[in-house]
Chains A and B, each alone.
Chain A
């Protein structure tokens, strides 16, 4: 029969609360468990208080990055190679249960449905935002998890703080009324990817407008992927969606692949 750790773990999973479960899979105390959640004392023990403390700290970082995997420690939580000499190794599996990454798409346009579909394949929770009631409907975007009729600023005020490095903001409106405040809002968050759609001339005008409202810092400009997407020669909305999602992956992994931002030629050749 299950005990208190599993029961708490199952309850947190059912309510989609982020949780990490650490299990000793090799070394002393095989099977020992520590359940780690944000803002609560860990439940259980891996066999030594110092090991519990170090693993709980690491597990919170793994949870933040939504990573699961094996880590190695000494029996008393040692982590440096010198401390681990002549010590039995404890192998611990840290299993992270984090909510899916978020993709916020601004603009209910032709490209939005294709991008939402590809993002769903990659496991994102997708929200579509547009101020125009006739376009921002769940019927047009059945693949989106949520469709909201709203201007960008209130969205970022209300829930911008929840965005993390693994989340993405894609601004597809082509309309300065909408994309300038969306870019400003996104830059105030910790979101890992900000892409803005538009031709090279739209991009040039947009950068002028952003400069007028004070977006001039090199850190801010380095974060903006504009024009959005990799330089794949994508034509259709579906191909463009793939080029955007591929750019998100490349930015996360730090791979050097040609983004449209770095080029100068025509976007659709």
Chain B
């Protein structure tokens, strides 16, 4: 979280709305542990990382959906899926659970 603070400050000064995704749980092997966080602005700027690059693209879409009111704050799960080649998964074979919400607290 520390590494996001400067970007969050700057974005808030510019009046941007921000969503934050945090790793809350990891099953099996995962690249980042609980507490790893990333922030996404309504204009699509990104800081931080939750998986070392595997699922960040999908997290941006979910974060924008929250900022647009298309989904509510909650837990989303990304895991490896071998039946769907297009599913977003982790190359390490683990599953990560993220909590995504707007920064309004």
Binding site for B on A (CB under 8 A): 1-3, 5-6, 10, 13-14, 23, 25-26, 30-31, 33, 44, 68-70, 93, 95-97
Contacts and interface: CB of A to CB of B under 8 A. Distances in A.
29 contacts: A1-B12, A1-B17, A1-B103, A2-B18, A2-B105, A3-B104, A6-B105, A10-B8, A10-B9, A13-B5, A23-B101, A30-B72, A30-B73, A30-B74, A31-B73, A33-B105, A68-B33, A68-B34, A68-B35, A69-B34, A70-B34, A93-B22, A93-B34, A93-B99, A95-B1, A95-B35, A97-B1, A97-B2, A97-B35
B24 interface: yes
Contact of A13 (B1, B24, B25, B74): B1
The prevalent SS among residues of B at the interface is: mixed
B75 interface: yes
Interface residues of B, number: 23
Scoring B9, B22, B33 by chain A CB atoms within 10 A of each residue's CB, the highest score goes to B22
A6 B17 CA distance: 14
B74 A25 contact: yes
Contact of A93 (B17, B24, B72): B24
A3 B12 CA distance: 11
B105 A25 contact: no
A97 B33 CA distance: 13
B2 A70 contact: no
A69 B73 CA distance: 18
A95 B105 contact: no
Q: Which 9 A-B pairs have the closest CB atoms?
A: A68-B34, A68-B35, A93-B24, A25-B99, A31-B73, A5-B105, A95-B35, A31-B101, A3-B105
A95 B22 contact: yes
Interface in B20-62: 22, 24-25, 33-35
Given A23-B99, A25-B75, A96 B105 contact: no
A95 B2 contact: no
A130 to B, nearest CB: 32
Contacts of A25: 24, 74-75, 99
A55 to B, nearest CB: 15
A156 to B, nearest CB: 30
Scoring A33, A68, A97 by chain B CB atoms within 10 A of each residue's CB, the highest score goes to A68
Nearest to A96: B35
Given A1-B12, A30-B74, A14 B105 contact: no
